[in-house]
Structure 1
Amino acid sequence: MEWTADLLQMPLLCGIIFMIAAIVMYVFPPKKINALYGYRTSSSMKSEERWHFAQRFSTLKMAQGSVFLLLSSFLGLLITIEGKLQLVPGILFPLLVVFYILFSTEAALKNKFPNK
């Protein structure tokens, strides 16, 4: 089987991209609330304090998600799925990581800032 047709090449590439993005966001977090760069949701943009917390927390969750994607990409060496079924984990795993980042960060914002 050719590498480009491997089961989990999408999680490998997404894992690398997420790790690079997490490192960049950790080293160069956005200083002020903006519409271009950072973890931008209505709840994270309500105050500067929420903004800074969301940037740091979501970056850590992105790094965790990228590790999951990188590790799951090696499942392609153990599992053989033929045809279009390869698309299911290739698309599902990165989407799960995106939802993990969003839901865990929003939950952390609600816990840390319950009445604000």
Structure 2
Amino acid sequence: MQITELIPTENLLFTHTISAGLLLILVGLILYKFPPKKINIIYGYKTVRSMKSKARWDFAQIYSAKQLIKFGAVLACLSFVGLIYHPNQNTAQLVSAALILAVVILAIYNVERALERKFKSQ
């Protein structure tokens, strides 16, 4: 049995979502291990709300890293649906793009909501 028989590389539902999930986990781990020390426009979780103060910035970096790791793992797990369900390429691209977009939006929403709750009085 060859590796290509085990992992359907032509099934974009599997390959796109697992790749994106693993990438989110990797980015989350890097951001968690090496959060930016100062507010900047190059590296880190950057939104208007996260850049209002140093305390918000520091909180947002760690919280967003955890969210990326969590949602990356969810996306990687969801990719295994592609091992069971084999849609045509257009459907697979659409579903995988929708899943990736959904987890990124959910991660951002969670971070922004956490920033709002934690720094409500400021």
Match of 1:86 in 2: 92
Give me the whole-angstrom Cα distance separating, in 2, the residues matched to 1:69 and 1:77.
14
> Is 1:96 the equivalent of 2:109?
no
Q: Tell me the distance in 1 between the aligned counterparts of 2:59 and 2:89.
A: 43
Name the counterpart of 2:82: 76
Deviations 1:50-89 (A, max 9, x none): 0000011111100011101110111111112124111122
Equivalent residues of 1:9, 1:73 under 8 A apart: yes
Query: What does residue 49 of structure 1 align with?
Result: 55
Q: Which amino acid aligns with 1:63?
A: I
Would you say how many aligned residue pairs link Structure 1 and Structure 2?
116
Provide the residue aligned with 1:112 in structure 2: 118
Picking from 3, 9, 20, the partner of 1:4 is: 9
Contact 1:16 1:70 in 2 (8 A): yes
If the length of structure 1 is used for normalisation, what is the TM-score? 0.93
Match of 1:39 among 45, 55, 61: 45
Q: CA separation in 2, counterparts of 1:53 and 1:83?
A: 40
In structure 2, distance between residues paired with 1:76 and 1:10: 10
Q: What is the alpha-carbon distance in structure 2 between the residues aligned to residue 105 and residue 113 of structure 1? A: 12
Structure 1 segments of 4 or more deviating over 4 A?
Answer: none
The CA distance in 2 between the partners of 1:43 and 1:57, in whole Å, is 13
**TM-score scaled by length of structure 2:** 0.89
Report the secondary structure of 1:26's partner residue.
helix
RMSD after superposition: 1.4
Give the whole-Å Cα distance in 1 for the aligned partners of 2:103 and 2:88: 24
Matches of 2:44 and 2:89, distance apart in 1: 37
